[in-house]
Each structure stands twice: as C-alpha cells, then as structure tokens.
Amino acid sequence: MAVTSDAPDRPKYDPAVDLDFPPPNLGPSVHVVGTVVNVHPDETPHPKVRRGEMGKVLFDYGRNTISADPIARTNSNRCRDKGNVFTDVLRRAPQGQINPNRTRVDDPKLMSKHIKNVGHYFGASIVGIGRSHPALLYAGGTLRDTGFIVDSEEGPKETPQELCKKYPYVIVTPVAWDYDLAQAHRHHIGDAAYDTTLMQTVLVLTAVENYIKELGYTALRGKVNPQAAALAGGVGELGRNGLIISEKFGSRIHLSDAILTDLPLAPDEPIDLGVQDFCKVCRKCAETCPTNSITFDENKQVFNGVEKYKIKWETCYKLRPLVTQHWQICLTCSTVCPYTKPNTWWRTLAVQTLHRTPKPVRPVVVRSLKWLDDRFWGKIPNKRVRWLGYDSGIKPGVKACTVAGCTAQHDAAGHKADIPLSDIGYYAPLKENTNRFVKR
C-alpha cells in the first residue's frame, strides 16, 4: 500500500533538530533549506505507475507493453519473456554474504582510489564517493535499479539518521550512454542507448556491491536517492532538465542506484561546472520538451525542503504510452543540452572556461557558448544515425532496416527509406504536435 508524504510516522531530516547532521553539501545546484520528509520507495514514479495510480493507460503501459523492437525486448521491461532479459535474472539472484575475514583499511584515501579503479574496471564511466546524509535516504524499504526492485519492508529497520551513522559513505557508478546513439533520441536507436546503459549499471553496481562484501564490509543498495548521491559525490550538478550533468558526458549518464557502505573511504566534494549559470540563461531543454514538463522560471523551486529545478515527471511519463508504437524514451532534454557533447578537447575547454570565469561575468560567457551551440548543433540536433540496420531518418514504426538483404523485423512492415529526412523520424516537430493534447 502506498505511504503518503504526510504520514505522521514518516522519517524526516530537520536541520534545526538533527544537530549531528548539518545540511548536506550538494554543490551549487541543490540546497537543503528546510525539513526534508524522506520519500518512501512506494511513492516514486515507477511503483505508482505499476499500481495503477497514474491512470489506466499508464498502468497498461507499465505492465503489458511488448516492444516491436527485438533489442528493446532484450534490454528493457518492454520484453516478451523476462528470461531473455539478463538484468531481470540478475536481480532475482540470491544475495551473497559478507566475508567474515575483513580486509583492514589503513588509508581511506588509497581505498577510495582503489574502489574507483575497481568501479571503472567493472564498467562504470564515472565513480563518485560522497558522504551519506539522512536527507539523501529513502524513508525505509528498498528502491533498486530505478524502481525495478521495490520492497517496502526489505532491509535494516534503522532510521535514515542511524543508517548514516553506521554507513557514512555513498558510492555512485554511472554508465554513459553512447554519444552517437543518443543523438537518435525519439527512436529505437536512442532507446537502445538508454536501456542498455541501465543494464550495464545493474551489472556494475552488483559487481561493486559484491566486491565490497568480499572485503568484509556492508554494501546496501536501494537506500539512497542516486541523484542526491551523485551530487554529494561530485559526479555533476542538477540541471534545469532534472538530470545530473557531469563534466565529461553532460547529462547522458545513467545512474539507477547507489551503494551505502561502511568501507572506510575519503569522500569527494561536490563540483561546480557552471551549470547553474548556464541553466539560468539557456532553457534549451524547456523550449524543446514535447510535454512542457520543464520549467522556464529563472528561480528554482523549494520542494520538500530542497531548493532545485524540478521537472513535472507525471507529464513526462504520460508521453510514453502515446508513442510506444514508435519509440519509448524521449531523451530530448538530455540530447539538446549544450553540456551533452562528445568528450573532446573543445568541450573540456568550454566547460573549464566557464568554470574559471568569475561568477558575475558568467552570463556573458554563457550567452556566447549558447549562441555557438545553437549555431553549430542546432536547437535540436539533427544528425542522422544509422546503426545495426536501423536508420533514425526513417520514421520509427515503419521497417527501419536499410541493410541490403536484412530480413530482421526491427520494426513493423513497410520500407520507406526514401521519405525526406525533414518530414519524418525523430526530427518531426513533436512539441508542436503534443501541445495539442498535453496541458501546459
């Protein structure tokens, strides 16, 4: 049963009362400014959809969608047979035990360096280590892998405060979406970039969790909001688009979960990439969001004691069943973001220039960088992507494979490779179309 935010027994973080925990340092993009009521796993988007609380259409979408695309049937919950989705099998594997022969850690800094190397070795694109804090934790239970595992009762029964005293560190191990594939947002190709990295995060997190257990320490998954952990661990800043924007990959990273641990570590500090100054001026994501889920406001909102840009996840989610015949995950707000560029020297130079620019002068630099971004990449990137026989210039929903002799049914029947690029596919003016039925 769902637990509502106003439940009287809900754990809270109150900075005026919890004197053991000063407000967390989450960097320039997010500030805890009041009492934070810990969110229960049951109240997060995926569980609400799966219980039918977001309406019949989303319920049916969440429970019964089978993709026309064989890659989506292999790497996502839009599968035909869960046995063919390896992460689903992995999630159901029994949990391993903690090694009773604990490895001694004399130097937490060295161990941090080591665990980062281990995380990268297992496949993480970034490894961030932050301090745990009661405001970052769920209200109890478990929410793993972006909501694929939800258990209201599972795990230790300690309060967030007690858990943070026992397990002082959080580790995040995001995996970056392939840049070229992510250009084909609003297409099966973009979906593949997104869903495959989710699979990879599950693999990486499970491996790092088990590695920590083999060192003789506790590693708890599903206890910490991964975005908050990423802020604390210096992975990035929260953008207007509601995504963590990282230094190397922009917002094309998949977080999915975090690990709470007592392994002795030296945490990283939050970072300042100038995202706040950029988002104040830019608004590219808000202008192109097809569901008007992203705010245009200059100022952030205070929501549940936290000051940040907050997107309307309900309207974002409601797009999915309407387009599921063609594609699934919108990704426009990530793809258009000027920070989401290939990891090249000129990108690094632009980020570093902004970072080193004194705050009062930053708006001028941002306007110039945004002008360059619009000029060279367009308001919406329109690079045609051909990959594994898919072609993002062809409207999803018609047979997309243009490889000579290929008989795979990547899509429904029909071969329309000659349709002009500007009229079809993910380049279609989706926002104008959706404005007709999505309430502002």
> Burial level of 73, CB count in 10 A (0-12/13-18/19+)?
middle
SS3 391: strand
User: Contact region for ligand SF4 (CB under 6 A) — 97-105, 112-120, 213-221, 325-333?
Assistant: 325-333
- Helix locations, 125-281, DSSP H: 160-166, 179-183, 188-214, 226-232, 275-281
Residue of 205, 311, 400, 401 interacting with ligand SF4 (CB under 6 A): 311
Q: CB-wise, 221 or 326, nearer to ligand SF4?
A: 326
Provide, rounded to whole angstroms, the least separation between the CB of residue 223 and ligand SF4.
26
Residue of 332, 354, 400, 411 interacting with ligand SF4 (CB under 6 A): 332
Contact between residue 357 and residue 373 where contact means Cβ atoms under 8 Å apart: no
Instruction: Give the x/- contact pattern for ligand SF4 in 218-247, rule: CB under 6 A.
Output: ---------------------xxx------
Provide, rounded to whole angstroms, the least separation between the CB of residue 374 and ligand SF4.
11
Please name which of 351, 380, 382 lies closest in space to residue 246, comparing C-alpha atoms: 351
Q: CB-wise, 136 or 285, nearer to ligand SF4?
A: 285
CA-CA distance, 262 to 131, in Å (whole number)? 11
SS3 285: helix
User: Contact region for ligand SF4 (CB under 6 A) — 111-119, 255-263, 330-338, 377-385?
Assistant: 330-338
Contact between residue 212 and residue 264 where contact means Cβ atoms under 8 Å apart: no
Q: CB-wise, 158 or 287, nearer to ligand SF4?
A: 287
* Residue 163 interacting with ligand SF4 (CB under 6 A): no
User: Contact region for ligand SF4 (CB under 6 A) — 100-108, 260-268, 334-342, 376-384?
Assistant: 334-342
SS3 352: helix
Q: CB-wise, 267 or 381, nearer to ligand SF4?
A: 381
* Residue 369 interacting with ligand SF4 (CB under 6 A): no
Residue of 115, 175, 205, 316 interacting with ligand SF4 (CB under 6 A): 316
CA-CA distance, 68 to 17, in Å (whole number)? 53
Q: CB-wise, 231 or 260, nearer to ligand SF4?
A: 231
Where b means 16+ CB within 10 Å and e means fewer, 321-344 reads bebbebbbbbbbbbbbbbbbbeee
* Residue 319 interacting with ligand SF4 (CB under 6 A): yes
Please name which of 369, 336, 335, 367 lies closest in space to residue 352, comparing C-alpha atoms: 369
Residues in contact with ligand SF4, counted by CB under 6 A, come to a total of 25
Provide, rounded to whole angstroms, the least separation between the CB of residue 380 and ligand SF4.
10
CA-CA distance, 143 to 159, in Å (whole number)? 16
* Residue 126 interacting with ligand SF4 (CB under 6 A): no
Q: CB-wise, 112 or 295, nearer to ligand SF4?
A: 295
Q: CB-wise, 126 or 333, nearer to ligand SF4?
A: 333
Q: CB-wise, 231 or 294, nearer to ligand SF4?
A: 294
Where b means 16+ CB within 10 Å and e means fewer, 169-194 reads bbbbbbbbbbbebbbbbbbbbbbbbb
**Residue that has been written with the tokens 């297409």 in this structure:** 187
* Residue 339 interacting with ligand SF4 (CB under 6 A): yes
Residue of 189, 228, 337, 400 interacting with ligand SF4 (CB under 6 A): 337
Instruction: Give the x/- contact pattern for ligand SF4 in 253-292, rule: CB under 6 A.
Output: -------------------------xx--xxxx---xxx-
Please name which of 134, 210, 203 lies closest in space to residue 174, comparing C-alpha atoms: 203
Please name which of 29, 26, 24 lies closest in space to residue 274, comparing C-alpha atoms: 29
Q: CB-wise, 150 or 337, nearer to ligand SF4?
A: 337
CA-CA distance, 287 to 350, in Å (whole number)? 23
Residues 31-70 that bind ligand SF4 (CB under 6 A): none
Please name which of 391, 363, 421, 429 lies closest in space to residue 187, comparing C-alpha atoms: 391
Residue of 192, 294, 369, 400 interacting with ligand SF4 (CB under 6 A): 294
| Residues of this chain that bind ligand SF4 (CB under 6 A) | 239-241, 278-279, 282-285, 289-291, 293-294, 311, 316, 319, 330-333, 336-339
